[in-house]
Structure 1
Amino acid sequence: MSDKELISVQKVIVHHNLDEQFIESIESFQLIEFIIKDSNKYLHTEQLPILEKIIRLHYDLEVNMQGIDVINNMLDRMDSMHKTIQQLENKLKLYE
């Protein structure tokens, strides 16, 4: 993983006007995996949309961390079920 694929959490905090406690809560609920490098915390660029979704859920809709965790788990399960349905539909088309 190159440094170009990492974003400083400090920059995200400043850009989105967040507090450190919010980031610590996200980390404690393991909603996003942070990377420690040179005693600084970084975020992989692929996880930035997930972080922004969490920010919107928390600040715009006032969902707490437990609720965000439940929502993320449900969305992951729905995505998995959708993929399974797609695979089954493709198999079914082979037999038609």
Structure 2
Amino acid sequence: MAQQELILIETLCTHYEVEISFVDTLYSLGLIEIHTIEQVRFIPEENVGDLEKMIRIHQDLEVNPEGIDVILNLLSKVDDLKNELAETKSKLRRFELTHP
């Protein structure tokens, strides 16, 4: 298994100008993954994009962490529905081609 790159939480909080408590709340809601190594906490590099999205929602729209959870769940459902719609359209096209 490839070694996972980890980013120090304090570095991210300083860069994005958010409190560590905000990141802790996201973690407690299960929205982000945190790794602890020798009492130092990190976020996997591959999850930084998700964290950035949550920070933008929080800062730009002034949404609290619980609201971010709701928004992310709704966005996930929208994506699922888009995929289902695309699949249904594809099946319909195939049906129309075989049954003119």
What does residue range 22-37 of structure 1 map to in structure 2 within 5 Å?
22-37=22-37
Shift of residue 45, structure 1, vs aligned partner: 2.4
Q: Which has the larger radius of gyration?
A: 2
CA distance in 1, matches of 2:46, 2:87: 25
**Matching residue's letter, 2:19:** D
What are structure 2's unaligned runs of at least 5 residues?
none
The two structures, once aligned, show a CA RMSD in angstroms of 1.6
Task: Give the Cα–Cα distance (whole angstroms) in 2 for the partners of residues 95 and 40 of structure 1.
Answer: 57
The percent identity for this pair of structures is: 34
CA contact (8 A) 2:35 2:42 kept: yes
The answer for the alignment partner of 2:14 in structure 1 is 14
The list of structure 1 runs, each at least 4 consecutive aligned residues, that deviate by more than 4 angstroms after superposition, is: none
User: What is the TM-score of this pair, normalised by structure 2?
Assistant: 0.82
Which TM-score applies when normalising by structure 1?
Answer: 0.85
Give 5+ residue unaligned stretches, structure 1.
none
